[in-house]
Amino acid sequence: MGEFIKVAETKDIAAGTGILVELEGERIALFNENGTFYAIGDICTHSGGPLSEGDLDGDTVTCPWHGAQFDVKTGEAMGPPASEPVPSYQVKVEGGDILIERP
């Protein structure tokens, strides 16, 4: 198992929203789905839109640029125009800290 690095605190992310964090030069979108945190690549595989700025509805985030949808649990593409997944990262919460496994 890889090393986990602190990237944010739980209080930084309101429920139902996401933020952008960076880990080792990777842009990662970190979401709070009702108290559970998920991390996927921030860069939409359609044309590079910022998924951390997308609307979160349950487990699904919608790209703010052209509406592609991704599962925040797995990074899988759920709706067009994207068809390729984004990476997904292991997340751990320790106290108030959110850690992501180093890619």
Which residues contact ligand FES (rule: CB under 6 A)?
Answer: 44, 46-49, 63, 65-68, 81-82
Instruction: State the DSSP code for 51.
Output: G
Please say which residue, 38 or 70, places its beta carbon nearer to ligand FES.
70
Please say which residue, 6 or 66, places its beta carbon nearer to ligand FES.
66
Please say which residue, 81 or 103, places its beta carbon nearer to ligand FES.
81
- Residue written as tokens 């921030």? 42
- The residue count of the chain comes to 103
> What is the distance between the alpha carbons of residues 80 and 55, in angstroms, rounded to a whole number?
15
Minimum CB distance to ligand FES, residue 40 (Å) = 13
**Four-point Cα dihedral 21, 100, 94, 70, nearest 10:** 80
Minimum CB distance to ligand FES, residue 47 (Å) = 4
